[in-house]
């Protein structure tokens, strides 16, 4: 046992590191652990963490035999597996939400076609073709999908940009700890916007909203003006 003077404390934002790691001069550590001129571990820091696997493979090719080389994803395999499962589940939940919204668009347009049956019949008698009627309701449904998608993307990006401030506000408002660092190993709620995933969600939302307008538009175009005017 040795006594050391604490020069400073650090906080990197990950509870596991903040609570268990100590930084000290290499010479002092070698003396304390009785490893003169030796080390037990070398860490390579990268500016881009996504390149960790490729760099580990490059080091493995040139390193001597007997060395064990791990990237941070393999060293924290359980945590990354849990995050991947959570991402897949969240993607499934969001897909179901979009499907529910698409069915809402379908039901709303069907009700609109039913309410506007007389107006559709008048347009048909004035010379409007089935294609023109179909385009009217298609544009109506598409405008709902585009407006909802743009609004959702804007709100989602704003939420991701200010997620930590929102968490702090909710914690002060409710008086509860919404993101316990001892459980999640992070002292702050992280958020990273992936442009590719955002574009995929936008394309899927727009595609489903456009598909949802086809049946009501086709139904409006197939409406018989004679029958519609007779029942009115």
User: Is the Cβ–Cβ distance between 122 and 183 less than 8 Å?
Assistant: no
Question: Looking at residue 210, what is its pLDDT?
Answer: 86
When the pLDDT of each residue in the chain is averaged and rounded to a whole number, the result is 83
Burial zone of 187 (CB within 10 Å; 0-12 exposed, 13-18 middle, 19+ buried): middle
- Write out the DSSP string of 104-149: HHHHHHHHHHHHTHHHHHHHHHTT--HHHHHHHHHHHHHHHHHHHH
In whole angstroms, how far apart are CA 203 and each of 12, 148, 149, 207, 210? 37, 13, 9, 6, 10
Sign of the C-alpha dihedral computed for residues 164, 166, 170 and 172 taken in this order: positive
pTM, entire model = 0.63
Q: Is it the case that residue 143 has pLDDT exceeding 70?
A: yes
Give me the percent of the chain exceeding a pLDDT of 70: 93
Model confidence over 200-209: pLDDT tens digits?
A: 888 888 888 8
Question: Looking at residue 184, what is its pLDDT?
Answer: 67
Q: Is it the case that residue 11 has pLDDT exceeding 80?
A: yes
The answer to which of 1-15, 168-182, 188-202 has the lowest mean pLDDT is 168-182
Q: Is it the case that residue 232 has pLDDT exceeding 60?
A: no
- Which residue has 């550590």 as its token pair? 29
DSSP 3-state assignment of 80? helix
Q: Is it the case that residue 113 has pLDDT exceeding 60?
A: yes
């Amino acid at each position: 046992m040795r006594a050391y003077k604490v020069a400073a404390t650090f906080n990197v934002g990950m509870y596991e590191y903040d609570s268990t790691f100590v930084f000290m001069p290499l010479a002092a550590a070698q003396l304390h652990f009785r490893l003169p001129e030796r080390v037990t571990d070398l860490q390579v820091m990268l500016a881009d963490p996504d390149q960790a696997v490729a760099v580990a493979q490059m080091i493995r090719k040139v390193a001597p035999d007997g060395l064990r080389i791990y990237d941070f994803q393999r060293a924290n395999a359980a945590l990354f597996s849990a995050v991947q499962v959570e991402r897949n589940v969240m993607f499934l939940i969001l897909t179901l939400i979009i499907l529910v919204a698409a069915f809402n668009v379908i039901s709303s347009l069907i009700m609109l076609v039913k309410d506007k049956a007389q107006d559709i019949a008048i347009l048909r008698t004035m010379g409007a073709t089935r294609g023109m009627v179909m385009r009217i309701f298609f544009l109506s449904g598409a405008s709902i999908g585009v407006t909802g998608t743009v609004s959702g993307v804007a709100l989602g990006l704003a939420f991701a940009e200010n997620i930590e401030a929102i968490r702090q506000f909710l914690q002060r408002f409710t008086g509860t700890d919404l993101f316990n660092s001892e459980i999640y190993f992070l002292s702050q709620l992280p958020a990273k916007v992936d442009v590719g995933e955002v574009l995929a969600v936008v394309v899927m939302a727009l595609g489903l909203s456009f598909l949802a307008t086809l049946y009501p538009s086709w139904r409006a175009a197939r409406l018989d003006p004679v029958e519609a005017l007779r029942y009115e």
